[in-house]
C-alpha cells in the first residue's frame, strides 16, 4: 500500500492513497509543499497569490515545485499543464481535479 506523508513536520498524518485525500487535506498538502520547498511564510499562501508577481518565484523554483508535487501525489504534470499553474489556487484546484 502506498502511503504519502503529508509533510515533514507531521509524519503521523498520512493518506493511504489519493482517493482518500479530502479537499482540505489536499489544500494543506499543497500549501505545505509550497511553503517548505520555496521558503515562504504561511501568510503568503493565499489562493489568489501569483507565484511570479506576488511571491517572486522564478521558473527554476516552479520546476522544483512541479517535481515535488508529482512525487508527493504520484502524478505527472505535463509541461502544458504546469504553464497554467500561475497561482497557489491553480495548483490546489489542479490536484483536486486529477485525484
pLDDT (0 to 100) of residue 97: 92
Let me know if 77 is exposed, middle or buried by CB neighbors in 10 A (0-12, 13-18, 19+): buried
Whole-angstrom distance, CA of residue 27 vs CA of residue 30 = 5
Is residue 95 pLDDT above 90, yes or no? yes
Provide the whole-model pTM: 0.75
Burial 27-61 (b: 16+ CB within 10 A, else e): bbbbbbbbeebbebeeeebeeebebeeebebeeeb
Range of the domain at 23: 4-98
According to DSSP, the residues that pair with 50 across neighbouring strands are 87
Spot the catalytic one: 58, 61, 79, 90: 58
Region class of 59: left (phi > 0), else alpha (psi between -120 and 50), else beta? alpha
| Domain of residue 50, CATH code | 1.10.1200.10
The count of domains in the chain is 1
Model pLDDT for residues 3-42, shown as the tens digit of each residue: 344 444 343 344 455 555 577 899 999 999 999 999 999 9
Digit-coded pLDDT (tens) for 40-49: 999 999 999 9
58 flagged as catalytic: yes
Amino acid at each position: 500500500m502506498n502511503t504519502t506523508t503529508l509533510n515533514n513536520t507531521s509524519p503521523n498524518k498520512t493518506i493511504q492513497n489519493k482517493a482518500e485525500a479530502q479537499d482540505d487535506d489536499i489544500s494543506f498538502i499543497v500549501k505545505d509543499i509550497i511553503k517548505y520547498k520555496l521558503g515562504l511564510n504561511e501568510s503568503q499562501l493565499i489562493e489568489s497569490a501569483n507565484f511570479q508577481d506576488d511571491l517572486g518565484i522564478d521558473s527554476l523554483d516552479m520546476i522544483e515545485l512541479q517535481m515535488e508535487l508529482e512525487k508527493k501525489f504520484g502524478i505527472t504534470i505535463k509541461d502544458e499543464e504546469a504553464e497554467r499553474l500561475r497561482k497557489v489556487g491553480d495548483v490546489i484546484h489542479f490536484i483536486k481535479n486529477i485525484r
